[in-house]
Amino acid sequence: MTNQKLNILVTGSRGQLGSEIEGLSSSYPYRFFFTDRETLDITCPAAIEAFVESKSINAIINCAAYTAVDKAESEPEKAENINHRAVKNLARIAKEKKISLVHISTDYVFDGRHYKPYTETDETSAQGVYGRTKREGEKALQQINPNHSIIIRTSWVYSSFGANFVKTMLRLGKEKESLGVIFDQIGTPTYARDLAKTILDIVPRLQNDTVEIYNYSNEGVLSWYDFAKEIMRMAKLECAINPIETHQYPTPAKRPHYSLLNKTKIKSTFNLEIPYWKDSLDACLIQLGERN
């Protein structure tokens, strides 16, 4: 792929990751085609095929996903369509047209009962509809097995775009004197811009014959409580953050209590340096105009 001009289809371009890829796109010598559900229906194989052929697409970055974790419990068919069936469509066309496919997955494929950072080969056991449908999408891609294609599992994604934990904390931190935030769920945030840059850097270097899975998040270990405390500190907000347990904040979908991802494989394969979570949070807050 290194000697080939890349024409990249980015699905889900209005989401956090897709928006960050678009923000970085002018720095890369690729030709990008950014699509969302209005401009390309990835649940329709004929629509994908026509788009790929008309634009001479030779790489796909699939950022499209049904990510409403709690809503997925009552809308399993919608989650299945986007997180599984659409991935199968993309994989089949990638295989047929010899197109590389980068598919984004999630830490929710794990049940969170581990005691050490999850590796790519650890057994999956999703607890809810969202995680289960994302795992089915992974399996479909692995079974179809287009060349030069990978799955990237990530966690706790945030960005200056879209709705996310960081922006919610900033809003509530300005409105309230105190907040209760869960302290017994452990993982690492991922600044979508860091992940976007990594994807764009490695796309032309994909040479694998079988679909590989890679983990990616920022470096470090923390709880949502720690994350919220640091957001308030950096943004100089007076809102007090109080630790609460998961059972005190019931949700329709279960979250993994522990979803730390081991990133050794992606770092060694592509010689990556991954930013520390506090440095990335700082960069995002600067982007949002929340740092003085």
Residues catalogued as catalytic: 130
> Chain centroid to CA 17: how far?
7
> Token pair 């295989």 is at which residue?
95
φ/ψ of 26, rounded to 5, equals -70, -15
φ/ψ of 209, rounded to 5, equals -90, -25
Residue 267's SS3 state is helix
8 Å CB contact between 86 and 36: no
SS3 content of the chain, % helix, strand, coil (to 5): 40, 20, 40
Determine the Cα–Cα distance for residues 139 and 133; give it in Å rounded to an integer.
10
> Token pair 């997925």 is at which residue?
72
Element (H, E) at 200: helix 192-202
Determine the Cα–Cα distance for residues 197 and 190; give it in Å rounded to an integer.
12
